[in-house]
Amino acid sequence: MSSISELYDVSWEEMRDKLRKWREENYRNSEQIVDVGEELINEHASKLGDDIWIIYEQVMIAALDCSRDDLAWSCLQELKRQFPDSHRVKRLAGMRLEALERYEDANKLYDSILQDDPTNTAARKRKISILRAQGKSSEAIRELNEYLEQFVGDQEAWHELSELYINEHDYAKAAFCLEELMMTNPHNHLYCEQYAEVKYTQGGLENLELARKYFAQALKLNNRNMRALFGLYMGLFATSHQPYTPQNPEAQGFAARNRDEVDCVQLKFQHIHGEGLSC
């Protein structure tokens, strides 16, 4: 089996830089990380200097993803030897226990970290993910709510909570979480689009109109977002068919305008469709 550097003709510096890029941009290509990282660790450990510790951490998490317990164990040993009292290393040990499905031991480990340092967010989040892995979603939701009461600014947690609520079909609360995310990242078209989808799923005239607006906003932020375009189309279609009711005298005006917009969007769709067909 030839090594990565032979297969792709890259030097060890390029491999290290690639790992750094994956680390900074939060890629989850675990198999690639394991291949590249393992070779770096085995062949070029001395040349890496102090970078090696963070590479150990990155490779260990990727190894847990690929069920490579041998590699994970060896990385953990090296890290433990270098940083004996570190909370970060303890968290990695806990993650390994989680991967082996020894949830009780992992929980005990995280509790010990929290006793030492109550502000440690990583340990808390791991405990919640244990609950999620065990399928106890209502408890996971409760714990996550408590966590968010204390750490209101944690965006990863808000996103996780919105996913949990969507799985439970509690769309109102999922919309709330997504609103938090939209508030902190107003220029992220993906949050707008997800929020619009949740609103669309909730249904009802007001929600459909909100959904349309947010799909339009997502398109404005990024005009390549196909899901948003499709969502906008469906939203326009749905609202244009709403009947005129006495409570909502504007609905007819809306309906007329909507039909124009539906035609507009349809034209654009056909345009893409046509271009797509021509390829």
Partner 1 sequence: MAHLLLDSSIRLWVVLPIVFITFFVGILRHYVTQLIHNDKKVDLQQVSDSQVLLRSRILRENGKYLPKQSFAMRKHYFNNPDTGFFKKVKRKVIPKNPMTDPSTLTDMMKGNLTNVLPMILIGGWINWAFSGFVTTKVPFPLTLRFKPMLQRGIELISLDASWVSSASWYFLNVFGLRSMYTLILGQDNAADQSRIMQDQMTGAAMAMPPDPNKAFKSEWEALEIVEHKWALENVEEELMCQDLNFRGLFI
Q: Does 272 bind partner 1 (CB under 8 A)?
A: yes
Which residues touch 138 (CB under 8 Å, ≥6 apart)?
168
Nearest distance in Å: CB 270, partner 1: 11
* Interface positions, 78-107, toward partner 1 (CB under 8 A): none
Which of 47, 88, 136, 271 forms a contact with partner 1 (CB under 8 A)? Answer: 271
Length of the chain: 279
Q: Nearer Cβ to partner 1, position 124 or 132?
A: 124
Q: Contact 162/178 with Cβ under 8 angstroms?
A: yes
Least distance to partner 1, CB of residue 272, Å: 6
Identify which of residues 186 and 204 has a Cβ nearer to partner 1 in the complex: 186
- DSSP for 197-257 reads HHHHHH-SHHHHHHHHHHHHHHHHH-TT-HHHHHHHHHHHHHHHTPPPBTTBTHHHHHHHH
Structure tokens at 251: 């609905």
Q: Which of 29, 86, 150, 252 binds partner 1 (CB under 8 A)?
A: 150
CB 195 within 8 A of CB 178: yes
Q: Which stretch binds partner 1 (CB under 8 A): 65-73, 137-145, 148-156, 163-171?
A: 148-156
Q: How many residues bind partner 1 (CB under 8 A)?
A: 30
Burial class of residue 159 (count of CB atoms within 10 Å of its CB; 0-12, 13-18, 19+): middle
Site for partner 1 contains 254 (CB under 8 A): no
Q: Is residue 115 near partner 1 by the rule CB under 8 A?
A: no
Return the number of the residue (193 or 261) whose C-beta is nearest partner 1.
261
Binding positions for partner 1, 170-229, rule CB under 8 A: 176, 179, 182-184, 186, 210, 212-214, 216-217, 219-220, 223-224
Name every residue whose Cβ is closer than 8 Å to that of residue 155 and which is 6 or more positions away in sequence: 180, 181, 184, 185
Whole-number Å distance between alpha carbons of 90 and 60: 13
Residues forming contacts to partner 1 in the complex (CB under 8 A) are: 118-119, 150-153, 176, 179, 182-184, 186, 210, 212-214, 216-217, 219-220, 223-224, 261, 264, 268, 271-272, 275-276, 279
